[in-house]
Amino acid sequence: MSAFAKDLEATIPALRRYARALTRDAEIADDLVQDTLVRALRSQHLFHGGDVRSWLYTILTNLNRNRLRSLARRPALSPLGDADAPQMAGPEAGGRDIERALAALVEDQRSALLLVVLEGLSYREVAEVQGVPIGTVMSRLARARAQIRSYLDGERPALRRVK
């Protein structure tokens, strides 16, 4: 087995973890990881050294963006809201709050937050994965953390002004 294949295989658990956190659906996440691995193996000749993990995260992130664009063209289904679910109490309620707070984030903010917090990537690596400057990553993280904090404190999300 080549060194590239070994590095690829070692990264699979982290890719699955990131994809599951990103999509919030195990089956979609597994499909996304499989597509990422297929694309990486087909494009192995384009990889010229460096960190395989960052390269794979970039592929996965781009595939997820394409998936979301495709879903945006379909008719929207209305998800069940907080008012539709029974109120939870106890230790599991805190996890549900964080899950809802993450779900309320914009895709780019959620992705940046998950890559830093869940996967332990540096800001520079996240900037490479998302294809943006490091300052944009820092801004996305600050906004994501502030929004989660306000959500968990029970504040209503502020409406964005669109010009």
**H or E element that contains 124:** helix 123-130
Q: Give pLDDT tens digits for 82-133.
A: 554 545 444 445 556 788 888 888 888 999 998 998 888 899 999 998 899 9
Block residue for tokens 């919030």: 24
Phi and psi based region of residue 162 (left: phi greater than 0; alpha: psi -120 to 50; beta: remaining): beta
CATH of 1-73, one of 3.30.565.10, 1.10.10.410, 1.10.1740.10, 1.10.238.10: 1.10.1740.10
Question: Looking at the chain, which residues constitute the CATH 1.10.10.10 domain(s)?
Answer: 89-157
Domain 89-157 belongs to what topology?
A: Arc Repressor Mutant, subunit A (1.10.10)
For the segment 27-75, what is each residue's pLDDT rounded down to a tens digit? 999 999 999 999 999 988 888 878 889 899 999 999 999 998 888 777 6
pTM: 0.63
